[in-house]
Amino acid sequence: MIKVCSRLFLLVAIFSIAYTQLVKGQHQPRQNCQSKCGNFTIEYPFGISTGCHYPGDKSFKITCKKDKPNVRRNIEVKTFDHSGQLRVLLNRSTVCYDEEANIEVNSYRLKLDNFSLPPNNKFTVVGCNAWGLLRTFGVQNHSTGCLSLCDSPPAPHSKCNGAGCCRTDVSIPLDSNRLQTGSERFENMTSVKHFNPCTYAFLVENGMFNFSSKEDLKNLRGVKQFPVVLDWSIGNQTCEQAGSRNICGGNSTCFDSTRGKGYNCKCLDGFEGNPYTSDGCQDINECTTTSSILKHNCSDPKTCRNRDGGFECKCRSGYRLDKTTMSCKRKDFGWAMILLVTTIVFLVILLGISYIKQRLRRRKDTELRQQFFEKNGGGMLIQRLSGAGPSNIDVKIFTEQGMKEATNGYEESRILGQGGQGTVYKGILPDNSIIAIKKARLGDNSQVKQFINEVLVLSQINHRNVVKLLGCCLETEIPLLVYEFINSGTLYDHLHGAIYDSSLTWEHRLRIAIEVAGTLSYLHSSASIPIIHRDVKTANILLDEDLTAKVADFGASRLIPMDKEQLTTMVQGTLGYLDPEYYTTGLLNEKSDVYSFGVVLMELLSGQKALCFERLETSKHLVSYFVSAMKENRLHEIIDRQVMKEDNQREIHEAARVALECTRLMGEERPRMKDVAAVLEALRVKTTKHKWSDQYPKEVEHLLGVQNLSAQGDTSSIGYDSIKNVAILDIEAGR
Q: Interior CA angle at 388 toward 382 and 392, to 5°?
A: 90
Helix (H) or strand (E) holding 70: strand 68-71
How much of the chain is in helix, strand and coil states, percent to nearest 5?
A: 35, 25, 40
CA dist 675 → 326, 440, 691, 732 (Å): 89, 35, 25, 21
What does DSSP say about strands 40-41 and 36-37: parallel, antiparallel, or unpaired?
antiparallel
Q: Catalytic one among 216, 231, 493, 535?
A: 535
Burial 225-245 (b: 16+ CB within 10 A, else e): ebbbbbbbbbbebbbeebeee
* CA dist., res. 677 & res. 655, Å (int): 11
Dihedral (Cα; 34, 232, 227, 46), 10-degree rounding: 0
* CA dist., res. 458 & res. 68, Å (int): 78
Residue 149: Cβ-neighbour burial (10 angstroms; 0-12, 13-18, 19+): middle
60-68 long-range CB contacts below 8 Å, 24 or more apart?
A: 60/232, 62/37, 64/34, 64/37, 64/38, 66/38, 67/37, 67/38, 67/39, 68/37, 68/38, 68/40
611-619 long-range CB contacts below 8 Å, 24 or more apart?
A: 611/575, 611/576
3-class DSSP state of 564: coil
Alpha helices in 497-589 (DSSP H): 506-521, 580-585
Dihedral (Cα; 576, 581, 582, 586), 10-degree rounding: 140
535 is catalytic: yes
* CA dist., res. 340 & res. 500, Å (int): 69
Helix (H) or strand (E) holding 455: helix 445-459
CB 522 within 8 A of CB 532: no
3-class DSSP state of 153: coil
What does DSSP say about strands 469-473 and 396-397: parallel, antiparallel, or unpaired?
parallel
CB 34 within 8 A of CB 41: no
Residues composing the chain:
735
* CA dist., res. 65 & res. 312, Å (int): 48
Which residues participate in catalysis according to the annotation?
535
